[in-house]
Each structure stands twice: as structure tokens, then as C-alpha cells.
Copies of this chain bind each other. A is one copy, B any other.
Amino acid sequence: MMKKTAIAPANIAFIKYWGKRDVRLNLPTNGSISMNLSAFHTITTVAFNQTKSDQIFLNGIPAGKQEALRISAQLDRIRSLAQVSFPARISSKNNFPTGVGIASSASGFAALTLAASRALGLRLSKRKLSILARRGSGSACRSIPDGFVEWIPGTSDENSYARSLYPASHWDLHDLVVLVSRRSKKVGSSEGHSLVLTSPFFEARLREIAGRLRRLKQALGRKDFRIFGEIIEEEALNMHAVMMTSKPALFYLEPVSLAVMHKVVAWREEGLESYFTLDAGPTVHIICQGKDSKKLAQQLKAVSGVMELVDNEAVVGARVIEENLF
């Protein structure tokens, strides 16, 4: 019964992955740090030798050509490790909409990699799983380990992987994900990555980032929320400054995103402490401590233009589960 189902969380990066030193291997130009998100996940069932060729369903619909090619390429890597060539039947479901700033490829390729490797009887280490997931989609490597995660950038396929810095229980941080638009992005992350070198600021970003990683790890270890928050805002603005000075300019923020950011700063000045971060999209991630999450969620929902709010905590990484999507 070469069939397994896995669940993997999406993750929010506090220090971002933006720029590749190797496009084929998804080696990043810099390390990154993230937290797995409790409310956003992908569940994927993989079964081998039930079909004549790879048969892939995403959210109940046959995968498009580009998606199917990318997924089959990832399956090939796993089949080659197991030294088999069985076709795979796959069903994968996200519990969240795609293209709104929640990285579906991260949870998706993490769940796929774990389910497919276990279905073929492979017992890979977390490090090896993370490396494999990275080949499918860079940030997917961070959805394998538990809780608070660091992606060590490495210099080759073998040493670029993510590991858990702390379990989810380490710190009661919340990520209030504020959806402001269901419009799909004009420029996807992969294309964005390739534009990074056209920004005059990218080199300066790289020079700074090692220091920022070190400071963030310290603040995470000491649970110093103020320092932690200041660093993640600095980092998000730094990445968006690089994006908006790329050629062509990448402009992911919507007016409502900016309104939410202004509110967060104003509330903080009044004593209600939270900090924003942003990925390559209009969605705003508001990071707060558990004690403030309910009040902040309430206030954020009242901001004009906010479409939906999802409260996340830190959570474990990819897991095999007993479910079956077929």
C-alpha cells in the first residue's frame, strides 16, 4: 500500500528569503527565520502505482500544466532516491486561498515531500526532508521542522536546509494574518526573486542581513518582544524597499495594507504592542503576544477594507497523518 498522507503548515518569515544564489537548486542568497502557522496548512495524499502516469489534483481540480511539471519534477527526485519509477496519484488541499500572500508552495511542497517519501518507504532525516522540500520550493524547507525555524543558507545542495531553533511552545507569539485583497499578484514570487539583482539596494541588503539574523535570534531566545518586533519591521521594510527599486518596480502593498501598518504603529504608541511584517503580497502579518491577540484582532477587523483576519500561533512542522484524501 504505497500510500501516505502528510500535513504541513505555511510559515511566516521574520527574516526573509528574497533572492537566489542558485536558481536550479533554490539556494538562497541569505539565511532566513520563520514561524510555522497553526491556521494555514496543506494536506497531501500520495499513492504510487495506482495510475498509469502522474495524476495530480490540487484543491479538487486537475493541476495545470506548469504546476504538474513542477510537482512531477519533485516526485522524480524522491523516486530517484527510492530507485523506483512508479507513477503517483496525488491529491493536495490547502485550507486557505492561494495568491494572497500566504505561501501555498511552502506548505504544499513540504507536505508532498513528506507524503511521497514515506509512501515509498523512505525514512529520511528531518534535514534530508528539508533539503528535498527546498528543491521543490525554497521556503518549503522551513515548513518541515517544528515551531521557530532557521534556514541555513549553505553553499550546496547538501548543506542548505532548515532546522528548528525552538519548539512552538517556546513563545506565545501570534501572527494575525490580515487579508486585504483576493486579487492575485501580478508578479509571482519566482519572478520577483529573479528581479532582486536589478535593485541598486540589494548588495547593501545582503551586507546587513547577517547582523539582523544574529540580533533576531538573540531576541527570539530571550523572548524580547520589543527588539524582536523592531527587527521584523525593519526587515520587512528593507525587503519592500528592494522590491520597489527593482526594475520593473515591484509594488505589492495595497492602500489597505498601508492603513493597517499605520494603525499598528499608532496603537503601539498608545501601549498596545504589535509589529507588522509583509511577504511578497498585500497581506499584512501582525505579530503580537498571546495576551494581546484578541483585542488586536477585534481592532484590526474594524479597519476599513480589511476582508478577513486569521489568528495563528506557532505550530509543529510537517507530519504524517492517518487521513486519506482519495
Contact = CB atoms under 8 A, between A and B. Distances in A.
A244 B255 CA distance: 16
Chief secondary structure at chain A's binding surface: helix
Q: How large is the interface on A (under 10, 10 to 19, 20 to 34, 35 or more residues)?
A: 20 to 34
A251 B237 CA distance: 10
A178 to B, nearest CB: 13
Contacts of A207: 200
Interface in A235-257: 237-238, 240-242, 244-245, 247, 249, 251, 253-256
B258 A253 contact: yes
Nearest to A246: B237
Contact of A201 (B241, B247, B256, B258): B241
Interface in A76-126: none
Contacts of A256: 255
Contacts of A311: none
Contacts of A22: none
A203 interface: yes
A205 B258 CA distance: 24
Contacts of A244: 237, 240-241
Interface string A209-237: 00000000000000000000000011001
A61 interface: no
Interface in A252-279: 253-256, 258-259, 261-262, 265
A204 interface: yes
> Closest 10 interchain pairs by CB?
A241-B241, A255-B255, A255-B259, A201-B201, A255-B258, A200-B204, A237-B244, A200-B208, A241-B245, A204-B204
Given A200-B204, A240-B244, A241-B244, 8 more contacts: A201-B241, A233-B249, A237-B249, A253-B258, A254-B258, A255-B256, A255-B258, A255-B262
14 contacts: A200-B201, A200-B208, A203-B204, A234-B247, A234-B249, A238-B245, A240-B244, A241-B241, A241-B242, A241-B244, A251-B261, A255-B258, A255-B259, A258-B258
Interface of A: 200-201, 203-205, 207-208, 233-234, 237-238, 240-242, 244-245, 247, 249, 251, 253-256, 258-259, 261-262, 265
